Amino acid sequence: MAALHDAKLEPHQLDLEVTETTLLDDKGSVVRTLNALKRHGVKMAIDDFGTGFSSLVNLRNFVADFLKLDGTFIRDIGSQGGDDPIVRSVIQLAHSLNMSVVAEWVTTQDQAQRLRLLGCDFLQGNFISEPVLAHEFGARVVQTR
């Protein structure tokens, strides 16, 4: 909290992403610390969900605001034999736990449309925007207003 104060940031202005693997390797102290930050208003995301040794216990013990669905599940979405059933199930599970879902690596309009149909809350990837530096992002936001 001292670092937030020093940076003149309110807790609600910070989003922390924690990989699923970090939660699995944890012996309790990381989860306790992250949950304490969350109680102060910091938003939390579980990143790369589904790529490590997933444990549903993590979803119970770590109260996150966002679940970031790894792009390996997005690549073939909407195609024959794609990961639609997995993506749909993860979205439903996250929503039942009051988490929003962010789909990573979205690169096509077809993927974006399919994810919206499946109930995904947010999209991230080159279809939305290529990576940009902070000062470029600010300039783009001003241009679109």
Report the sign of the C-alpha dihedral through residues 40, 49, 120, 111, in that order.
positive
Helix/strand/coil (H/E/C) assignment for every residue in the chain: CHHHHHCCCCHHHCEEEEEHHHHHHCCCHHHHHHHHHHHCCCEEEEEEECCCCCCHHHHHHCCCCEEEECHHHCCCCCCCCCCHHHHHHHHHHHHHCCCEEEECCCCCHHHHHHHHHCCCCEECCCCCCCCCCHHHHHHHHHHHC
Choose the catalytic residue: 10, 17, 20, 104.
104
Establish whether 10 is a catalytic residue: no
Catalytic residues: 104
